[in-house]
Amino acid sequence: MTVRCDRLLLDCTLATLSGDSGYGLVEHAAIGWRGGTIVFAGPMRELPAEPEAFALASESVHGALVTPGLVDCHTHLVFGGERADEFEQRLEGASYEAIARAGGGILSTVRATRAASEARLLEQSLPRAQALLRDGVTTVEVKSGYGLNLETEMKMLRVARRIGRTLGISVRTTFLGLHALPPEFADRRADFVAAASDEWLPAVAGGRLADAVDAFCEGIAFTPEEARRFFESARGLGLPVKLHADQLSNLGGAALAAAFDGLSADHLEWTDEAGVEAMARAGSVAVLLPGSFYALRETRSPPIAGFREHGVPMAVATDLNPGTSPLRSLRLAMNMACTLFGLTPEEALRGATANAARALGLGDRGVLAQGRRADLVVWHARRPAELAYWIGDTLAARVFAGGAELPA
Ligand code: NIG
Ligand code: FE
């Protein structure tokens, strides 16, 4: 019996990313889908029927590279205002930590985010998601964490979900309950951690506003014990965890995330061998964020060789945020992961597709294969390495999400 597709692209250079390594390259390939699901991805000669009989609409892409839709698995793209003033201060020698301790940093964005109406927050945040989409991102994770009270955290998460509906892309939301200590809880750390863990988290979960939780475990943020308390509450509610771990110092964050079977631990510049091994055992993904490494002019790279040796899957994300990574291009993050951390272009592409999907707990995307979501990108490129190679501007020619072509 002939399976019919709604759409069929012919003469593709497919990078399927299926299998554990390699691009999964198929030349002279076709990809077809029905509804939102791929029904064929393989060599044209293996098509079960003539294109006209097999698909309602078929067209050649003349050898263009086709990949899974990119997945940006770590962003903070919903926020009010910007922090270009801190960029200037850092260029004059102030450190990120010093700015944060003086009440700037995350707390300055908290003030702007609390002050913004929901409509204004959407208006400010939408172009950032649009920029990612324009260069091939069809799934984006968005964290809260600039509210630090229930009302504003929920406002951020609602805006994130609305961005997905408005643009036609998938948005996964993460409740970043422990990001910074807000002024009204100064000297009341334990009360803040209790409120975030026992009141706000259940409310967010009850409103079905979060797919996962996250915390910032760092000297200038929260201790491993505080993060553990928060994670225990998440576990009780059945929400998976992610962690900002070992970015500026080694507090054992990678091992902590692994102890909770974390979907991922993110940043990881200071992660040691024990942390890498714990992640390998737990199957947690190492999310690399070269944008913040670059913007903060960090010098210590995450333990890439250790991740490879122990088989820890690596993902690459923008960390798009107003302080440490005002980076609106996942492809540029891929380029930086190669240039700054030594990833291969193949690891970078897997890190922005298959492994990024895994860091979000999404088994239905990130590779091009029968039965997976029809999220795919046709590129102005022929070789997969070009995606990490070209710097600046966009390279995506056409973007399909859930089978629908999105306006450029
Ligand atoms: O991922 N590390 C904590 N959160 C962000 C920075 C947030 C900010 O400075 O606004 C990050 O780097
Ligand atoms: Fe982050």
Residues, beta carbon < 5 Å, ion ligand 2 = 319
The ligand 1 atom nearest the CA atom of 267: 1
Residue identifier of the C-alpha nearest atom 3 of ligand 1:
216
Q: Which DSSP letter does residue 373 get?
A: B
Are 234 and 213 a contacting pair, CB within 8 Å? yes
pTM over 0.85: yes
The Å distance, Cα 323 to ligand 1 centre, comes to 6
Instruction: Please report, for residues 36, 268, 302, the alpha-carbon distance to residue 249 in angstroms, rounded to integers and kept in the order given.
Output: 43, 9, 12
Model confidence at 127, pLDDT cuts 50, 70, 90, reads very high
pLDDT of 123 above 70: yes
Are 3 and 48 a contacting pair, CB within 8 Å? yes
The Å distance, Cα 380 to ligand 1 centre, comes to 33
Q: Does any ligand 1 atom lie closer than 6 A to the CB of residue 90?
A: no
Instruction: Give me the pLDDT at residue 3, please.
Output: 67
Angle between the 118-134 and 150-167 helix axes, to the nearest 10 degrees? 40
Q: Which DSSP letter does residue 3 get?
A: P
pLDDT digits (tens, 9 = 90+) for 47-64: 999 999 999 999 999 999
Q: Which ligand is nearest to the CA of 218?
A: 1
The Å distance, Cα 337 to ligand 1 centre, comes to 18
Provide the mean pLDDT of the chain. Answer: 97
pLDDT of 223 above 60: yes
Contacts of 365 (CB under 8 A, 6+ apart): 68, 69, 71, 138, 139, 170, 357, 372, 373, 375
The whole-angstrom separation of Cα 257 and Cα 215 is 10
Three-state SS across 202-222?
Answer: HHHHHCCCCCEEEEEECCCCE
pLDDT of 2 above 80: no
pLDDT digits (tens, 9 = 90+) for 227-240: 999 999 999 999 99
The ligand 1 atom nearest the CA atom of 319: 1
pLDDT of 383 above 70: yes
Tell which residue, 329, 322, 321, 302, has the closest CA to residue 394.
329
Beta bridge partner(s), residue 215: 178, 243
Q: Does any ligand 1 atom lie closer than 6 A to the CB of residue 109?
A: yes
Could you give the residue ranges of the DSSP H alpha helices within 46-200?
51-54, 84-91, 96-101, 106-115, 118-134, 150-167, 189-195
pLDDT digits (tens, 9 = 90+) for 29-39: 999 999 999 99
Q: Does any ligand 1 atom lie closer than 6 A to the CB of residue 24?
A: no
Q: Does any ligand 1 atom lie closer than 6 A to the CB of residue 319?
A: yes
Beta bridge partner(s), residue 171: 140
Residue 188's CB is within 10 A of a number of other CB atoms, namely: 12
Residue identifier of the C-alpha nearest atom 12 of ligand 1:
324
Q: 228: burial class by Cβ within 10 Å (0-12, 13-18, 19+)?
A: middle
User: Looking at this protein, which amino acid is placed at residue 226?
Assistant: E
pLDDT of 91 above 70: yes
In the chain, DSSP finds a helix count (H) and a strand count (E) of: 17, 16
pLDDT digits (tens, 9 = 90+) for 316-359: 999 999 999 999 999 999 999 999 999 999 999 999 999 999 99
The Å distance, Cα 231 to ligand 2 centre, comes to 17
Contacts of 69 (CB under 8 A, 6+ apart): 136, 137, 138, 139, 353, 365, 375, 376, 377, 399, 400, 401
Q: Which string of DSSP letters, residue by residue, matches 88-114?
A: HHHHTT--HHHHHHTT-THHHHHHHHH
The label of the residue with tokens 């700054």 reads: 340
The Å distance, Cα 218 to ligand 2 centre, comes to 12
Q: In the predicted model, what is the mean pLDDT of residues 134-149? A: 98
Are 319 and 291 a contacting pair, CB within 8 Å? yes
User: How much of the chain exceeds pLDDT 70, in percent?
Assistant: 99
Q: Does any ligand 1 atom lie closer than 6 A to the CB of residue 326?
A: no
Q: Does any ligand 1 atom lie closer than 6 A to the CB of residue 324?
A: yes
Q: Which string of DSSP letters, residue by residue, matches 285-305?
A: EEEE-HHHHHHTT--PPP-HH
Q: Does any ligand 1 atom lie closer than 6 A to the CB of residue 144?
A: no
Q: For a pocket test of ligand 1, which of 75, 292, 297, 320 has the largest count of ligand atoms closer than 8 A to its C-beta?
A: 292
The Å distance, Cα 390 to ligand 1 centre, comes to 27
The Å distance, Cα 63 to ligand 1 centre, comes to 40
Q: For a pocket test of ligand 1, which of 217, 222, 324, 325 has the largest count of ligand atoms closer than 8 A to its C-beta?
A: 324
The ligand 1 atom nearest the CA atom of 74: 1
The ligand 1 atom nearest the CA atom of 176: 4
Tell which residue, 269, 401, 370, 384, has the closest CA to residue 30.
370
The Å distance, Cα 398 to ligand 2 centre, comes to 29
* Distance between start and end Cα atoms, the chain: 36
